[in-house]
Homo-oligomer: A and B are copies of this chain.
Amino acid sequence: MAEQESNALVEAHPMNGGDGPNSYAQNSTVQKRDMEAAKEMISEAISKHLDIDPNSFSNPSQPFRIADLGCSIGPNTFFAVQNIIEAAESKFKSIKQKSPQFQVFFNDHVENDFNTLFRSLPSTRKYFATGVPGSFYAPLFPNSSLHIIHLSFALHWLSTVPKDHGNSLCWNKESIYCTGKSKEVADAYFGQFKRDMDLFLNARAEEIVSGGLMCLIMYALPNRVKFSDTLAGYSFELLGDCLKDMAKRGVISEEKVESFNIPQYIPTMNEVKEVIKQNQRFRIVSIGTLENPSSVLTDQMFVGHLRAIVEGVIKNHFGDEMDTDELFSLCLGKLRESCHLFDDEKYLKNINLCIFLKTQE
- Give A contacts to B, CB under 8 Å: 1, 3-5, 8, 60-61, 63, 100-101, 103, 105, 110-111, 113-115, 118-119, 121-134, 139-145, 209
Q: How far is the CB of A92 from chain B (nearest CB, A)?
A: 15
User: Is there an interface contact between A142 and B63, defined as CB atoms closer than 8 Å?
Assistant: yes
A125 to B6 Cα, complex, angstroms: 12
Please name 27 pairs of A and B residues whose Cβ atoms are closer than 8 Å in the assembled complex, sorted by A. Answer: A1-B101, A1-B127, A3-B128, A4-B124, A5-B123, A61-B142, A61-B143, A61-B145, A61-B209, A63-B143, A100-B142, A101-B143, A103-B141, A103-B142, A105-B130, A110-B118, A110-B119, A111-B119, A114-B115, A118-B131, A128-B139, A128-B142, A129-B132, A129-B134, A130-B131, A130-B132, A131-B133
Kindly list chain B residues whose C-beta atoms are within 8 Å of the C-beta of A128.
Answer: 1, 3, 132, 139-142
Kindly list chain B residues whose C-beta atoms are within 8 Å of the C-beta of A121.
Answer: 4, 110, 133
A129 to B100 Cα, complex, angstroms: 24
Kindly list chain B residues whose C-beta atoms are within 8 Å of the C-beta of A103.
Answer: 141-142, 145
A125 to B8 Cα, complex, angstroms: 13
Query: A128-B142, A131-B133 are known contacts; what are 9 more A-B pairs with Cβ within 8 Å?
Result: A5-B123, A60-B144, A61-B145, A103-B145, A110-B118, A113-B115, A114-B131, A129-B134, A130-B130
Q: How far is the CB of A182 from chain B (nearest CB, A)?
A: 37
Q: How far is the CB of A245 from chain B (nearest CB, A)?
A: 35
A341 to B99 Cα, complex, angstroms: 58
Known A-B contacts A123-B4, A131-B131; A63 and B145 likewise in contact (beta carbons under 8 Å): yes
Q: Which of A4, A121, A128 has the most CB of B within 10 A?
A: A128
A114 to B111 Cα, complex, angstroms: 11
Kindly list chain B residues whose C-beta atoms are within 8 Å of the C-beta of A126.
Answer: 1
Secondary structure call for the A interface: loop
Kindly list chain B residues whose C-beta atoms are within 8 Å of the C-beta of A139.
Answer: 128
Kindly list chain B residues whose C-beta atoms are within 8 Å of the C-beta of A60.
Answer: 143-144
A4 to B132 Cα, complex, angstroms: 20
A133 to B101 Cα, complex, angstroms: 17
A114 to B129 Cα, complex, angstroms: 14
A8 to B125 Cα, complex, angstroms: 13
Closest B residue, CB atoms, query A102: B142
A141 to B3 Cα, complex, angstroms: 23
Q: How far is the CB of A81 from chain B (nearest CB, A)?
A: 14
Known A-B contacts A130-B130, A131-B130, A209-B61; A142 and B101 likewise in contact (beta carbons under 8 Å): yes
Q: How far is the CB of A206 from chain B (nearest CB, A)?
A: 9
Kindly list chain B residues whose C-beta atoms are within 8 Å of the C-beta of A114.
Answer: 114-115, 118, 131
Kindly list chain B residues whose C-beta atoms are within 8 Å of the C-beta of A124.
Answer: 4
Known A-B contacts A4-B123, A113-B115, A114-B114; A133 and B144 likewise in contact (beta carbons under 8 Å): no
For the complex of A and B, the 3 pairs showing the least CB-CB separation, nearest first, are: A63-B142, A118-B133, A61-B144
User: Is there an interface contact between A129 and B119, defined as CB atoms closer than 8 Å?
Assistant: no
Q: Which of A123, A126, A129, A130 has the most CB of B within 10 A?
A: A130
Q: How far is the CB of A331 from chain B (nearest CB, A)?
A: 29
Q: How far is the CB of A85 from chain B (nearest CB, A)?
A: 12
Kindly list chain B residues whose C-beta atoms are within 8 Å of the C-beta of A145.
Answer: 61, 63, 103
Kindly list chain B residues whose C-beta atoms are within 8 Å of the C-beta of A3.
Answer: 125, 128
